[in-house]
Amino acid sequence: MADKIKGTLIIIGGHEDKTDGREILTEVARSVRFERGPLVVVTAATHKPDELAEEYTAIFKDLGVKQVAVLDIRERKDAHNPEHVELIAGAATVFFTGGDQLRITSQIGDSPMFRCLHEVYRKGATIVGTSAGAAAMPETMVVGGPSDESHRISALRMAPGLGLLGDVVIDSHFAERGRMGRLLGAVAQNPKNLGLGIDEDTAVEVVGGERFRVLGSGAVYVVDGAEIMYSSLSEQHAEGIVTVHDVKLHVLGADDHFNLVQRRPLRPDEPENNGKK
Amino acid sequence: MADKIKGTLIIIGGHEDKTDGREILTEVARSVRFERGPLVVVTAATHKPDELAEEYTAIFKDLGVKQVAVLDIRERKDAHNPEHVELIAGAATVFFTGGDQLRITSQIGDSPMFRCLHEVYRKGATIVGTSAGAAAMPETMVVGGPSDESHRISALRMAPGLGLLGDVVIDSHFAERGRMGRLLGAVAQNPKNLGLGIDEDTAVEVVGGERFRVLGSGAVYVVDGAEIMYSSLSEQHAEGIVTVHDVKLHVLGADDHFNLVQRRPLRPDEPENNGKK
């Protein structure tokens, strides 16, 4: 990293509460409070852009956000449109809805909008993604693979992501869709990446690209492959189970903190962890 | 342990293949081959004893087992019946079907049949359990808790099991039903117990109570809590997510070996691991 990152990421495991306490979306709304620009809802991932735009606009207005704008990206040239780039350039918060993460990256990857997104993030904007919008955040994203099944080499599909967060892979709907197998597979492919499995109605709020805290009602699973001394990934045929020894796993709940640089969870009694109840 | 255990356990994660390769049931059938006694199918766990008895009898006969007997335990006095005890006493292999693990333990726990089961196991018999029959094997068994959800303290229900294998807890249908959350919860409750999560059509074959190898098409997850230095289990209210740091996890596939005494997976190149292909 050349410059210190001043922005924040809010990475949501999907199905965030939209009707009751709305803890996570309230935190998203709060990110706009002291900023001048709008909250921009980007519907690039979804096949139902109008429906999601309407739903999120109503929620964020209800949560007190004064300016909510919608950026409806349906093809690659939409990410080159100077008006769209300008909208991102002035945004306090950019919110990526769910849908298909490949729709996000294939449409905005390396576009003027993409470069602008990185710039506003470095300068202090908050970038939010839920479900597919969450999966798309890292350098490399998981795009497919079976749920509720143990990992077979051939089954996992990955692709280059938005690159807003390095050295992690992210999977959403984590416990709900039984995705431990595929996250373990993704980490075993290259243990330099920390695996983050985020449950529904649960989020990590990453500050300055260096640490996060957990929000919401579910758990965040951190899969650390640094101590893997043996995996069968390079040996076995495509349909075999991938053997992996000595994976480290942390399970975190609301208000827990994690240091991404040191790859360590913080105990609630550690001084740095001042947010823990 | 007073005496060295001479018996074998075959612990199956449920839904073992009954029609095609039948790898696991073939291994069960093989356990009878050089023994004099019958293979006894115990239907204590199920509400459909006749159906399962018929199905397994047909399969094991088809796999070349000459003597297949059925022990239909429907109430506690059935486990006191001297004829039933005698059947177990002469068995080469005892096979517990799926169903409800509490039906097994509540009906046979501390009965003459139960004591006889332990005795024949110590002397060399093979004891097999699938699904509920697998969960019932350890000293403490998981009897309930949500699947496809992260663990909340209040959600997990455990009960005393058959006690054929110490210092482990076992969960079946593991990846298929997304049970990592509850197995982590069970291990965090007391890290002395190693957690074994066994996928469907997958089994561990435990020799002498000390080591196992994996059979079948899925994975076995070994959750080791020995290095947990922090968990929130004693602090949090019942509905909260249980925070756990530094769980060790191994994922094992067919022909992988694990030493239960040392709590270590064996690498395929370790000399002790002669069964690995």
- Where is A69: in which H helix or E strand? strand A68-71
Distance CA A151, CA A153 (A): 6
pLDDT of the residue at A144 = 84
Q: Which residue has the higher pLDDT, B149 or A113?
A: A113
Q: How far is B200 from chain A (nearest CA, A)?
A: 9
All residues of chain A having their beta carbon less than 8 Å from the beta carbon of residue B184 are 249, 251
Known catalytic residue at A149: yes
Distance CA B81, CA A271 (A): 64
Q: Which of B122, B222, B127, B213 is nearest to B167 (CA)?
A: B222
Confirm if B214 and B220 have CB atoms less than 8 A apart. yes
Structure-block tokens of residue A100: 């298909």
Q: Note whether B175 contacts A251, CB cutoff 8 Å.
A: no
Pairing state of beta strands B168-171 and B194-198? parallel
Q: Note whether B253 contacts A267, CB cutoff 8 Å.
A: no
- A236 to chain B, any CB pair closer than 8 A? The answer is yes
Distance CA B127, CA B104 (A): 14
Confirm if B163 and B136 have CB atoms less than 8 A apart. no
Query: Residues with Cβ < 8 Å from B115, sequence gap 6 or more?
Result: none
Distance CA B245, CA A139 (A): 26
Distance CA A193, CA A139 (A): 10
Q: Note whether B250 contacts A247, CB cutoff 8 Å.
A: yes
Catalytic one among A84, A173, A200, A257?
A173
Angle CA(A99)–CA(A101)–CA(A104) in degrees, nearest 5? Answer: 95
Known catalytic residue at A139: no
All residues of chain A having their beta carbon less than 8 Å from the beta carbon of residue B256 are 243
ipTM of the complex: 0.88
Global pTM value: 0.91
Q: Note whether A253 contacts B240, CB cutoff 8 Å.
A: yes
Backbone angles phi, psi at A197, to 5 degrees: -105, 115
Helix (H, G, I), strand (E, B) or coil at A189: helix
- B23 to chain A, any CB pair closer than 8 A? The answer is no
All residues of chain A having their beta carbon less than 8 Å from the beta carbon of residue B251 are 150-151, 184, 241-244, 247
Q: How many CB pairs under 8 A join A and B?
A: 124
Distance CA A167, CA A189 (A): 13
pLDDT of the residue at A275 = 44
Sequential pLDDT tens for chain A (277 residues): 457 899 999 999 999 999 989 999 999 999 998 778 999 999 999 999 999 999 999 999 999 999 999 999 999 999 999 999 999 999 999 999 999 999 999 999 999 999 999 999 999 999 999 999 999 999 999 988 878 888 776 678 889 999 999 999 999 999 999 999 999 999 998 999 999 999 999 999 999 999 999 999 999 999 999 999 898 887 766 677 889 999 999 999 999 999 999 999 998 877 565 444 3
Q: How far is A62 from chain B (nearest CA, A)?
A: 28
- A150 to chain B, any CB pair closer than 8 A? The answer is yes
All residues of chain B having their beta carbon less than 8 Å from the beta carbon of residue A232 are 253, 268
Q: What pLDDT digit, counting tens, does each position of B27-57 carry?
A: 999 999 877 899 999 999 999 999 999 999 9
User: Which amino acid, A104?
Assistant: I
| pLDDT beyond 90 at B277 | no
Confirm if A220 and A173 have CB atoms less than 8 A apart. no
- A199 to chain B, any CB pair closer than 8 A? The answer is yes
Catalytic one among A149, A210, A227, A272?
A149
Confirm if B272 and B264 have CB atoms less than 8 A apart. no
- A156 to chain B, any CB pair closer than 8 A? The answer is no
Q: Note whether B230 contacts A267, CB cutoff 8 Å.
A: yes
Q: Where are the alpha helices (DSSP H) in chain A?
A: 23-30, 49-62, 82-89, 101-108, 112-123, 132-135, 180-189
